[in-house]
Amino acid sequence: MLSLDDFEQAARRRLPRPIFGYIAGAAEDNQSLRANRDAFARYGFVPRVLVNVSARSQQFDLFGRRYDAPFGIAPMGLSALSAYRGDIVQARAARASNIPAILSGTSLIPLEDVIQAAPGTWFQAYLPGDPARIDALVERARKAGYETLVLTVDIPVSANRENNVRTGFSTPLKPSLRLAWDGLTRPRWLAGTFLRTLLAHGMPHFENSFATRGAPILSASVLRDFSARDHLSWEHVARIRRQWPGALVIKGILHPDDAALAREHGVDGIIVSNHGGRQLDGAVPPLLALPGVLDAAGDMPVMLDSGVRRGGDVLKALALGARCVFVGRPFNYAAAIGGEAGVAHAIGLLRAEVDRNMAMLGINRLDELHPGLLRRDELPGR
């Protein structure tokens, strides 16, 4: 495994078709999925030379903590289906490397277990549909010891993920002969992840969508509850801000006006994101939205996810003003292939790329990055 992309091909061979399809897929025609990668290719580096770069450091400060690399692990639902105790192994690898990790609200391991295994993990919430449930979930995260709460706000309705239908994925998974065959033809996953989980922990459930336990992952009839998220508004953010004592982050912002509203509502930071292309197909790539969002965000830390695959991508986002970036799918694949050691290896690959590229750019510190080190490609049709 020499790059983050290498993990994807290995995971394709290891994971059952529906689970790999769920991770890899995006919405509708995959326009945003492709555009997220293409956006990074629009920018070229303009390096400085003959600079003493022997004192390189990737450390940066965020929400009162110093991290050792400017990237983290994005929230990914159902990670415990692709790797045994997937949410925990990702969080533990991130803690060992001193980078941020965000636990998904659609995870299958109780948030209390994850924070106990990896203190300092952030929690990402999909807001339930009524104030009482919101209050209960926020209070649960506070009592568990989370200090950073991430509200993902780009899911007013479920996306049109035709890929999930084509690969046989649903939430919860519905028992069928095809599903059984997909599992039997991946014996390492069947024994090492699914059966091992059943024997040690019982049938996985959606554990963190509400303050109480949700539906089982394998069910013939129970539908996953999205709880009318189409009526959520900034009033709910204000309510959470009054209740939550720690750092409050909003994930899923692309429009500058929403960044300004987040600042007005006392939010501590935002993540510019189009959900990895998994929600609104055709949404602008976060890297291209970043400059406008930064102008409106004031002194709020602005982070970014979606499409980051190389150390060069990390540095391009930081040069344009992001404080740090988050990476999703590759770390999920790495956990599926090698557990915690696989995630640690993936983190090490990305960290080495960042270090190498800093040297070749002629910088020692992340705060030396600036837009002048980039040139945007304005070729016709790009």
What residues act catalytically? 275
Q: Helix (H, G, I), strand (E, B), or coil: what is residue 248?
A: strand
Q: What is the C-alpha to C-alpha distance for residues 141 and 304, in angstroms, rounded to an integer?
A: 23
As a dihedral over the C-alpha atoms of residue 162, residue 167, residue 169, residue 175, rounded to 10 degrees, the angle is: 140
Q: Are 220 and 173 in contact (CB under 8 A)?
A: no
Q: What is the C-alpha to C-alpha distance for residues 58 and 35, in angstroms, rounded to an integer?
A: 27
Q: What is the C-alpha to C-alpha distance for residues 354 and 348, in angstroms, rounded to an integer?
A: 10
Angle 262-245-91 (CA atoms, 0-180°, nearest 5)?
90
Which stretch of DSSP H or E encloses residue 82? helix 79-82
Residue 102 CB burial class (10 angstroms; 0-12, 13-18, ≥19): buried
Could you give phi then psi for residue 338, rounded to 5 degrees? -135, 15
In the chain, the amino acid numbered 228 is: A
Could you give phi then psi for residue 362, rounded to 5 degrees? 90, 35
Q: How is residue 205 annotated by DSSP?
A: B
Give Cα separations from 354 to 57, 68, 351, 364 (angstroms).
10, 12, 5, 11
Tokens of 42: 């629009």
